[in-house]
Structures are given as structure tokens and as C-alpha cells.
A and B are shown apart, each in its own frame.
Chain A
Amino acid sequence: MNIGLHEMLETIRMVQVENLDIRTVTMGINLLDCADSDFEKMNLRVYEKITTYAKDLKEVAEIVEKEFGIPIINKRISITPIAEILGNATKDQAVELAKTLDRAAISLGVDFIGGFSALVHKGISKGDQILLDALPEALTVTERVCASVSVATTRSGINMDAVRQMGIIMKEAAEMTKDKNGLACAKLVVFCNPVEDNPFMAGAFHGSGEGEVVLNVGVSGPGVVLNALKRFPDADLGIVADIIKKTAFKITRAGELIGRVVAERLHVPFGIMDLSLAPTNAMNDSVAEILEEIGLERVGTHGTIAALALMNDAVKKGGAMASSYVGGLSGAFIPVSEDNGMIRGIIDHSLTLSKLEAMTCVCSVGLDMIALTGDVTPATLSAIIADEAAIGMINKKTTAVRLIPVPGKTEGEMVEFGGLLGRAPVMGVNPFSSEKMIKRGGRIPAPLQSLIN
């Protein structure tokens, strides 16, 4: 059936005015066969494997974006969690490997490479510990390497020893990059229930259930949803959900097509489509503004959770039908520094850390890109991670923490991270200590799956 003028106009308006884009095509590459007891050999193999598999990624993505007229903002790579191949390597060697990954990313022209990761939700192996020890330095000396650490799952509980370490690691990483406002922490995510096929950074890694190589796609489009809602200012909430659903459907279809074409041309299997609404600092490309359009004077006020729950669910319903394989994190992202509406909510004292925490109960993913005062203690960071992990563990969902304790900054100051990472107002934390609980260590046992009240 031929396309009508108004349909053509709608697509063009979405792209040119409302910032519809494919946020990322992410190639997942398995590195397990690169493992070697000789570190130099492994280092070389990792570089060669990544630069061979992804050699055409950027070029093909750029051709496809021109042919279809829909921008692909990021080209990324996710890899096997590096802790799994570290074996007997030393901390310095782990840092060296991070540099190798960075070099591979730069030479390929990809924006980020994710998977300098460890899965320690139950226990910490030798390789895991080396990776954890290397994290602050690795994230300081590299530019495009992203790291993630899984500290909890619904089935295994929360590894509080890992949580305790993560508080210290985040603090150290921030301190080592204090001239850049603690930028290293912007590339480090702490997860509960991470997914193996997430194309979004900083939490992407290529899980062990994945194949040799795969292409995953993440779409975006808060601006499109926002503008669609603006055309129905008086609709009831059932219709609001319906509008979001229909819009998400169209956005996802565009993403699915682009993903499949890129995958086909790279001769790589298409993995999943991640339906996340991911905001940017562009005008009107904000998730918070969608919530405000639904009817909140400012994001963070009473009703925010309900509006977010409605939106998140509608996005999934629309997207699920539009794609044959939905995966990744699929929901709404609420990173503070990357969303102008969220930033304004905090500046106006409407949005607080507690409310942000509550919001993570009903959306993907977690406390994301939040700047905290420089004097926050490692134990408090660990306690925030523990809270967020508990939310994920009990609600059987992914939650994540990406906090930046900005050295030397106090509450209310604005810090810049640059590029897609944006800027954020520094937030204060509860002044009372959580030290004793964090010091106890051990594991929080996995929760019951029944008796669910």
C-alpha cells in the first residue's frame, strides 16, 4: 500500500523536529576464545578480534542512516565481561587490557566499548577481584571504556562484600578524575539483575548466554512521544497510554528495520531491540517533560510515580508488538544529567534523591548520572547501591546505580560532564551514617518468590 502524504510528513517531522533517532547499534562480541595464560598473547588477540569483527560497523551504520534518513547516534561494542578472561593477570595487566579496548574503540571510530565488567552477585573470583582493583585506574586512563559490576540478583541475593567495595571504588575513581568532575564514575554502573544483551552504555556487556557475535539496537524518542501527547492536551489517561503506545510502536518499527538492515549488511545475527526511551539534552528530548505533559507541574511532585508507571508500561506494550525480539533494558531511562527536565526538577527542589529512588521501582533502570557532593563517604555510596539493589532484587527487575561523587563540590553547584553525558546539579545525601551496616559485609539472602506482599 502506498504511503500517504501525511504519513511521510509524520516520519519527517519525527526525525527533523522531534529528535527521533536510533540511539545506538551495539555489536556484541564474545571474547572467551581470546583467553590465554600468556597475557601478551591475550591482549593481542582481544585487539585483533574486536577490530576484525567490528571493522565495518561504523561505515555500514553511516551508510544505512543516510539511506533511510534516520540518524544513528552511537556505534558501540559490547564484549564478554573482562573479569571472565583475566585468569591470572595482574592489576596492571588488567589496566593494560582496558587501554587495549580503548585503542580498539578509537581505531574503529566507535563511541563506547562496554564490558570491562564483573559479575559478582554471589561471590568474587580471582579474576573478578583483579578487575575490581583495576577499575579506578582503568576508567581514569581510558576514554571510551565502560565498566559494570553486577552485585545482586533476585535469585542470589545481594553480595554486600561487593557492594562495600563498590562504594570505595567509586570514590577512588572520582578522586582520580577530579580535574574532570569525577568523570570516571560516569562510565561505571553497579547492577542488580543485569541483562546480557543491553545495547546501552555504560552497562552493556556481552553475556555468556549470547552467541559469538550479535547486533543489538537501542532506539530513543522522548521528543516524539512528548509532541504526540501535546496534540491531545485534554485526553484521559487511558487515551494518553494509547498515544504513547502507538508512538512507541512507530519508533520501534523504525529501529527494528534499521537494526535488521545493519545486521544483514554486516553478516551478523540480529539480536534484540531495546525499547528504552532515552533522553538527551536536546531541546524537548526529555522523559521528565513527558511526565510534565501528562499533567505534573514539575517532575518529582506527587503523581510522578503513577505517570512514570503509565508511560513505562505503554512504551513496552507498543514496542513489544513492533519488534520480533525485544530485550535489553526496555523501559524509560531517567538519567539526571542527560535530561533537561530532570535537571530543572532538581534545581526547583521538586525532585529529590528519595523520589528518584522511588521512580526506579516502576521504570528501567535506576539512579543514573546523579552528581553527589564530594564529601559523601564510601559507606554511604555503598548504602545507596544496597538500597537500589534491594529494589531490583525484590521487584525482579534490573536496577542500576551510576553516581558521581564530584570531588570538592557542594550541594546546589552545577557540574558539566560534556557531550551526551550532559550536566547535573550536585545533590546532597542523608547526613546520617550507614557505616555499621556496610561494615558487616556478607550476603543478603535471596528473597522468597511467593508471599509477595
Chain B
Amino acid sequence: MNQRRAIVSVIGKDQVGIIAKVTNVLADNKINILDISQTILQDFFTMMMIVDVADNKDLESLQKQLVKVGKTMNLNINIQLEEIFQAMHRV
């Protein structure tokens, strides 16, 4: 099966419901989550999700929805295709 992987990154102050709200947006867009990792550094919440966007051509609208959620919770949320990270960090 063809995958097109993107990374959703969430950075901000830790609070209740971050994962719930972000995954809701993803579920609404029928996006499968392949991997989640998160850490909390001095109250600073950092989460990274690897998702499959093979069926979602329009990343821009997804980004908009995520930014909207981010604004309500004062979080910085981005979605970027995984290749950019592979290019920068893997030889």
C-alpha cells in the first residue's frame, strides 16, 4: 500500500486535551496515525505524530484546521511532509 508520510508537530504549554483535540482533526480528515511520541520539558509540551496522508492531497486545508485548533489552545501546530526531515537528518 502506498504511504505518504507527514509529520504533525505540536509544541506549547502542557494542558488537558491536547492529544484529543489534535487527533480529532486527524480523524475528521480520515487520517491514520502511524506513530506518536511526546515529551514534556519544563512544562513545555512537545508531540510528534507520523501520519499517513496518501489520500489527502490538500495539506493546506488540513494545516489550516490544525492551526485553528492550535490557536484556541495556544499551541504551535505544523504539518510537514516527512521527506524534509529525512533529507535534513539522514544521509
Contact = CB atoms under 8 A, between A and B. Distances in A.
B81 A68 contact: yes
B9 A12 contact: yes
Interface string A214-226: 0000000000000
Contacts of A256: 87
Contact of B88 (A1, A63, A67, A250): A250
Interface stretch (A3-11, A92-100, A280-288, A394-402): A3-11
A440 interface: no
Contacts of B46: 5, 9
A3 B59 contact: no
B11 A12 contact: yes
B90 interface: yes
A16 B90 contact: no
Given A9-B46, A67-B59, A2 B35 contact: yes
Contact-size category for A: 20 to 34
A191 B11 CA distance: 47
Contacts of A258: 84
Contact of B87 (A2, A63, A254): A254
A3 B82 contact: yes
Given A5-B39, A12-B9, A12-B11, A253 B88 contact: yes
A7 B63 CA distance: 21
A254 B80 CA distance: 12
A250 B89 contact: yes
Interface in A1-35: 1-3, 5, 7-12, 16
A67 B81 CA distance: 6
Contact of A66 (B48, B60, B85): B60
B80 to A, nearest CB: 3
B59 A70 contact: no
A3 B83 contact: no
B60 A3 contact: no
Contacts of B35: 2
B50 A2 contact: yes
Interface string A47-80: 0000000000000000100111110000000000
Contacts of A5: 37-39, 46, 48
A106 interface: no
A237 interface: no
A67 B84 CA distance: 10
B90 to A, nearest CB: 6
B84 A70 contact: yes
B75 interface: no
B89 A257 contact: no
B78 to A, nearest CB: 5
B85 A11 contact: yes
B51 interface: no
Nearest to B50: A2
A248 B11 CA distance: 26
B60 A63 contact: yes
B7 A3 contact: yes
Interface in B4-34: 7, 9, 11
Nearest to A258: B84
Between A1, A66, A258, the greatest number of chain B beta carbons within 10 A of the residue's beta carbon is seen for A66
Contacts of B59: 66-67
For B50, B82, B86, B87, which residue has the most chain A Cβ atoms within 10 angstroms? B87
A256 B7 CA distance: 19
B87 A69 contact: no
Given A8-B9, A8-B48, A12-B9, A69 B78 contact: yes
Contacts of B38: 5
Contacts of A250: 88-89
A11 B48 contact: no
Q: Which 5 A-B pairs have the closest CB atoms?
A: A69-B80, A257-B87, A3-B85, A7-B89, A253-B87
Given A67-B59, A256-B87, 20 more contacts: A1-B90, A3-B86, A3-B89, A5-B37, A5-B48, A7-B88, A7-B89, A9-B46, A10-B88, A12-B11, A66-B63, A67-B80, A68-B80, A68-B83, A69-B80, A70-B80, A250-B88, A253-B88, A257-B83, A257-B87
Interface of A: 1-3, 5, 7-12, 16, 63, 66-70, 250, 253-254, 256-258
